[in-house]
Amino acid sequence: MDLFNRLLEYYQITEKEYKSRIENCDLSTIPDPFQYMDNFQQSIDIIEKHIASKDKIAVLGDYDVDGLTSSSILIMALKNRGVDTGFYIPSRYIDGYGISEKRVDDLYRAGYKLIITTDNGISAFDPIKKARSLGMDVLVVDHHTQQGGKLPEASGIVHPKVCHYIDIDISAGFLALLVSYGLTKRFDEYSAALAGLAVISDMMPMEWANLTLANYLIKVLKEGKYSQFNYLLSDSPDLKIDPRSITSNKISFDIVAPLNGLGRMNIGLGNNNAVRFLVSREPGEILKYYKYIMRVSRRKKERLKELRTLAKTPIKESIDFRIIDNCEVGLIGALANNQMCSIKKPVIFFTKSPVDSDILVGSGRSLPYIDFYSIMKKYKDFFISFGGHRNAFGLSIKEKDFDQLKKSLLIEFDALPDERPQEQYIFLSPEEISFKSLDIINGFDPFGTNFKSPQFALKVKRRDLHLSQNGEHIYTRLKGEGVITYFYYDKNIDRDFDQDLYLGGELVFSDFRGVSSVHFNVNSLVDLQKDKIID
């Protein structure tokens, strides 16, 4: 069976369904919010009223990519209507998440009449009530889950489920694009690309109009029309980008990660520069903000490297539950995820809150087959705040409760059976680690939560694998275009150098110093007794 048909079997789709999937990038197929979203016209009317009165309007977003892109989309739509919009992206170190009563006071004193919250607001009951008491309108554009069916006293709400638009998850960037459409009566190309970026960054399900926007983003990136994207994607000063490299994986690493990095580092209100970068049309400004973003990104990588050294401690317990001293609160999630991937156990790392020293802010990560979120919900009485999904969540607790929560979770996880489910892999021969194979695989992109990037199995001998200089990694160049990379490899494979190994991993494009190659990045060892291999 050729690779294309192996992929069809892997995803359990027909060739007709495949073609329908890759051709899904027509923005006109996005359901009209005026027709399908409850109270959408009323929400647009709120904005129109303030535009007509020449009132000051402020957009208040969030510090992740969904918040940055949705804020940028709204700012550009309002600018298109002649409004010089104010905006504010909170700092998690100064403000915490979302709109606050203090920020409402600041905006009121500055003369703003309308606040549009995006990627936040659906649970901001007190700040919104205060704004309304001061005579301000508040329009909430948010996709997060409402608390107990309760809604804030906002002037209007644009929410996919509250407004009965769609039952699947969609991003705030998507919602902002709908509001932009409501104000301008068209889908702006660049704004649609930003909404596609939000689909990927917020890990929305790759179906329905989410898939349309993600496909549209990839199409726009391959055309190279916008310098913001080109700067982030390019490894060369002439901003040349090989279209073969444009994948959802590259978008996550080269665009999402640097933009998210601003919100993770303690840089004051410097994360607002991400919005300035995204909305600017002046080449000198774009370059200036790009350089700022990359400086912060490098600082983040260096800091994470330091923290990983601190966190790299052998753990005998069934869960790694620790306080990491002097860790920036914005980096605790990335650190927990790195540790989970390293030790293959659930991890919860905490650090002290920058706002209240008696509070610990934490982040949890688990292996895909463990529903960590449901387990943690049993201990909700410990939490000051808690939110997330099956394998990743954030929480805060009182420091005095740390020991008791750790004791309870150790008992819980010690009792869990080791039930790793069967994994499915597509067999690849060494000769198939090639650009031809990569083109076939990328034809199935974009990948997401319900359409994950394919996992491959490669059969090799241990004696044919070569170590890096420090002996920690495997880096083996194959004949032709392929390279095998296995970072922090499992030393158990050294027991028998003549044994056949089945390595599980992904195929990715690499362009280092102008030399292109295809890497088989190993992330697991295939269990032949349990796992399924499609060949």
Predicted confidence at residue 236, as pLDDT, reads: 63
Q: Cα(323)–Cα(311) distance, rounded to whole angstroms?
A: 10
In the chain, what is the straight-line distance between the N-terminal and C-terminal CA atoms, in Å? 7
Can you tell me which residue has the tokens 């028998």?
A: 496
Is a pLDDT exceeding 90 seen at residue 369?
Answer: no
Q: Cα(505)–Cα(519) distance, rounded to whole angstroms?
A: 10
Is a pLDDT exceeding 90 seen at residue 479?
Answer: no
Chain centroid to CA 28: 26
Long-range Cβ contact pairs of 11-14 (< 8 A, separation 24 or more): 11/444, 11/451, 11/454
Q: Give the pLDDT band (50/70/90) at residue 241.
A: confident
Is a pLDDT exceeding 70 seen at residue 403?
Answer: yes
Predicted confidence at residue 310, as pLDDT, reads: 85
Question: Mean pLDDT over all residues of the chain?
Answer: 94
pLDDT digits (tens, 9 = 90+) for 94-150: 998 899 999 999 999 999 999 999 999 999 999 999 999 999 999 999 999 887 789
Q: Mean of the pLDDT values across residues 401-419? A: 92
Q: Give the pLDDT band (50/70/90) at residue 488.
A: confident
pTM over cut 0.85: yes
Can you tell me which residue has the tokens 């039930």?
A: 419
Q: Count CB neighbours of 488 within 10 A.
A: 11
Predicted confidence at residue 226, as pLDDT, reads: 95
pLDDT digits (tens, 9 = 90+) for 30-45: 999 999 999 999 999 9
The two three-digit tokens of residue 417, written as one number: 């059976």
Predicted confidence at residue 262, as pLDDT, reads: 97
Task: Give SS3 for 77.
Answer: helix
Q: Cα(183)–Cα(191) distance, rounded to whole angstroms?
A: 13
Q: Which amino acid is at 413?
A: F
Window from 27-31, 172-176, 240-244, 265-269 with minimum mean pLDDT: 240-244
Domains of the chain: 24-218 (3.90.1640.30), 312-414 (3.10.310.30), 424-534 (2.40.50.460)
CA distances from 174 to 48, 199, 218, 226, 285 (A): 20, 8, 16, 19, 26
The helix-helix angle for 208-223 and 189-201 (nearest 10°) equals 120
> Dihedral of the CA atoms 490, 492, 493, 494 (nearest 10)?
110
Q: What is the DSSP letter of 149?
A: T
The two three-digit tokens of residue 323, written as one number: 């306080």
In this structure, are residues 201 and 72 in contact, taking their beta carbons and an 8 Å threshold?
no
Q: Cα(190)–Cα(481) distance, rounded to whole angstroms?
A: 35
Is a pLDDT exceeding 70 seen at residue 237?
Answer: no
In this structure, are residues 79 and 278 in contact, taking their beta carbons and an 8 Å threshold?
no
Radius of gyration of the chain (CA): 24
Q: Cα(155)–Cα(177) distance, rounded to whole angstroms?
A: 20
**Kind of pairing, strands 56-60 and 112-118?**
parallel
In this structure, are residues 493 and 484 in contact, taking their beta carbons and an 8 Å threshold?
no
The two three-digit tokens of residue 416, written as one number: 């869990």
pLDDT digits (tens, 9 = 90+) for 245-259: 899 999 999 999 999
Q: Mean of the pLDDT values across residues 72-78? A: 98
pLDDT digits (tens, 9 = 90+) for 176-223: 999 999 999 999 999 999 999 999 999 999 999 999 999 999 999 999
In this structure, are residues 131 and 138 in contact, taking their beta carbons and an 8 Å threshold?
yes
Q: Give the pLDDT band (50/70/90) at residue 1.
A: very high
Predicted confidence at residue 344, as pLDDT, reads: 84
